[in-house]
Amino acid sequence: MAGRTGRLKTWYEEHVLAGILDGAMAGVEPLRAELLPQARGRVLEVGFGTGANLPHYGDEVSSLVAVEPSEGLARVARRRLEAWGRPFELIEMSGSRRLPIDDASVDVAVLTFVLCSVKRIPELLAEVRRILRPAGPLLVAEHVVAGTPGHAAAQRALRPIWKACLGGCDPARDTRGHLEAAGYDTAALEERPLGLPWLVRPGLVGVARAPR
Ligand SMILES: C[S@@+](CC[C@H](N)C(=O)[O-])C[C@H]1O[C@@H](n2cnc3c(N)ncnc32)[C@H](O)[C@@H]1O
């Protein structure tokens, strides 16, 4: 987006949205602390946002490839990555497009609270699969469609207004279905409540596996 509108959008993302995201996601910090220490070696994180996962990566992470399409969020992320002090690449584009990363070149991939707002999920999951080593672990933490009919009906009823207010975030995504359709083994993913508002509390958390 060029010109004044684009600059305003970037300013808003860097100075307002980044703070909103960090604040709104505070309740999932314990979950990040539980999941992310499983990352090792060269790690791909798609939908990096402000870099909220960064403090939770352990010493076994040797380098990070971060993908983030929002220019304003990427500015915040870059400052945090520079302070992190380990090798990184920050790729400012959508993960649903062909990324400039070699096939089977990362040890672990990470998707946290991203798939709810991705427009072309099959393309993004195929791209992650291409880049991740065969049978590599995909660390997942996502809010998903509720398992109980009443809760799922509320998610669907409120979907239009929720999406309009929250940057296209869909409260009722069948994320396990999408992962399975893309060929990932989801047997070890667990449905559990998240530290988020009621509408988006149902979560899917754990380690999925890319195909061999
Ligand atoms: C709710 S934020 C979560 C950020 C971070 N993963 C976290 O755990 O806090 C969702 C992020 O997904 C990013 N996103 C949305 N669509 C994307 C796409 N197609 N490819 C990569 N990132 C995307 C957004 O720009 C935003 O940074």
Residue 40 β-bridge partners: none
pLDDT tens digits for 6-31? 999 999 999 998 998 889 899 999 99
Across the range 65-71, mean pLDDT stands at 97
SS3 150: helix
Ligand 1 close to Cβ of residue 94 (< 6 A): yes
Ligand 1 close to Cβ of residue 118 (< 6 A): yes
Closest by alpha carbon to 139, among 57, 55, 68?
57
Phi, psi of 150 (to 5 degrees): -65, -45
Alpha carbons 36 and 17: distance in angstroms, whole number: 23
Query: Quick one: what percent of the chain has pLDDT higher than 70?
Result: 99
pLDDT tens digits for 103-153? 999 999 999 999 999 999 999 999 999 999 999 999 999 999 999 999 999
Number of domains in the chain: 1
Range of the domain at 13: 3-209
SS3 108: strand
Ligand 1 close to Cβ of residue 91 (< 6 A): no
Alpha carbons 192 and 203: distance in angstroms, whole number: 5
For residue 165, the domain's CATH number is 3.40.50.150
What band does 1 get if pLDDT is binned at 50, 70 and 90?
low
Alpha carbons 122 and 142: distance in angstroms, whole number: 16
Q: Tell me what pLDDT residue 62 has.
A: 98
Say if residue 2's pLDDT is above 80.
no
Number of the ligand 1 atom closest to the C-alpha atom of 67: 21
Chain-wide mean pLDDT for the chain?
96
